[in-house]
Amino acid sequence: MGTIDNINDLNKSDFLSIFGNVFEKTESVAIEVFESKPFKNFEDIMFKMLNIYEGYKKDKILEILNAHPELAVAKRMTSESISEQASAKLNECSSEEYEEFKRLNSEYKKKFNFPFIIAVKGKNKNEILNNFRQRIQSDVESEFLEAKKQVKKIATFRLNEINKK
């Protein structure tokens, strides 16, 4: 990614092209962070992004949750989601697994009003399916909090990826 000075020198458009999808299809976090330049270091950017997200009201969090694709069946995904899901082999489901993901996605969305969200990095499709089967049993409030936590994990993974570049 270069030095913190390089990041501080970025214009808004370039900053958003790098950080705009840390929170799935939600540039508002990156826009707010951009306004708080200069940054002391990369950890400062991470802290500010996660803090802004944590400070959002429930309706804004729901908006972010609903920006996430369904697992294993989504047609239009960001490049980040495509590579994250492929790393968990969700693009290699058997027809039975695919059908189960499809059914769970549908039931979950109906019950909770947002898609099932899990930070898939480091997990395989069996772990994800087992998680899915368990979490669909949750009550709405607990699951909202779990989904919010998973989004934060995904954002942290994405920020760490950016920092490695």
Q: Provide the annotated active-site residues.
A: 68
Q: Give the residue from 106, 48, 51, 118 showing the smallest Cα distance to 81.
A: 118
Q: Are 33 and 13 in contact (CB under 8 A)?
A: no
Collect all residues with Cβ–Cβ distance below 8 Å to 110 and sequence separation of at least 6. Answer: none
Q: Are 46 and 159 in contact (CB under 8 A)?
A: yes
Range 131-165 burial, b when 16+ CB lie within 10 A, else e:
bbeebeebeeeebbebbbebbbebbbbbbeebeee
Chain centroid to CA 100: how far?
A: 22
